[in-house]
Amino acid sequence: MSEVKKVVLAYSGGLDTSIIIPWLKEHYNNCEVIAVCGNVGQKGELEGLEERAKASGASKLYIEDLTDEFVEDYVIPTMQAGADYEGYLLGTSFARPILAKRVVEIARAEGADAVCHGSTGKGNDQVRFELAITFGELVYDGQWFSPLRKALSAFVTSTQEHVTGKVRLELYKGNLINAGVWSPFSLYREDIATFAAGGDYKQSDATGFISIYGLPTKVQAIVNSEKEGE
């Protein structure tokens, strides 16, 4: 690392990424630091970044508009999969791979010797960035660019082939209420779903399923009965 002359830094404008610029220049022979900030929809947070980055010692700042790619290639696939992590909707997690990807692209274009991020090392941000740069991440656990993530996305995409239609919404006193859905590919059929006489569903069809599904309970009851009789 002593020969590093040019570093591309994933830059947010926060404390960590601001103070790491002079640290890099001090520890790597006054190397050039190029800052990169990705716009994934944070709006006002981008104001004043160029002045801040240059004041900290960066030679230039790229502000990359990644919103379209972020939504199309990251947000939508994650939403289609219904993914969350213990109730967390992964907003920060799936922003990391696209930012890391763009940092690497700019580093190659600039002929940089190294890439850097400002994560503190205390959280999983550090793992997210470093793994994304080397072999990718799968959202929260750090393997978005892995074959597994791509295979899962391909599977989810195939399940969404016929997901289309109309949603009727009701707006009432600040509430948004789902008032109905319709799709030409809907699998709902009233004649099968209904219990009314004359429908296609026959209660007798459930007999075999109930017998098989209840078999473990039946066996357990027999065993318990035999044990109690000993």
Q: What is the CATH number of the domain that holds 89?
A: 3.40.50.620
- Structure-token pair, residue 79: 């939403």
Total number of domains constituting the chain: 1
Of the candidates 47, 206, 120, the one whose C-alpha atom is nearest the C-alpha of residue 130 is 120
Question: What's 126-162 look like in SS3?
Answer: HHHHHHHHHCCCCHHHCCCCCHHHHHHHHHHHHHCCC
Report the share of the chain in percent with pLDDT over 70. Answer: 77
Short-list 13, 51, 57, CA closest to 31:
57
- pLDDT averaged over every residue in the chain: 80
pLDDT digits (tens, 9 = 90+) for 109-164: 999 999 998 765 545 455 445 533 433 345 555 666 677 777 767 766 776 788 88
Q: 33 lies in a domain?
A: yes
The answer to whether the beta carbons of residues 64 and 36 sit under 8 Å apart is: yes
- Domain extent at residue 71: 6-158
Q: What is the pLDDT of residues 85-101, one digit of tens each?
A: 667 677 777 788 889 88
Residue 13 falls within a domain, yes or no?
yes
Tell me, yes or no, whether 196 lies in a domain. no
Residue of 91, 81, 87, 100 lying closest to 150 (CA atoms): 81
26 pLDDT more than 90: yes
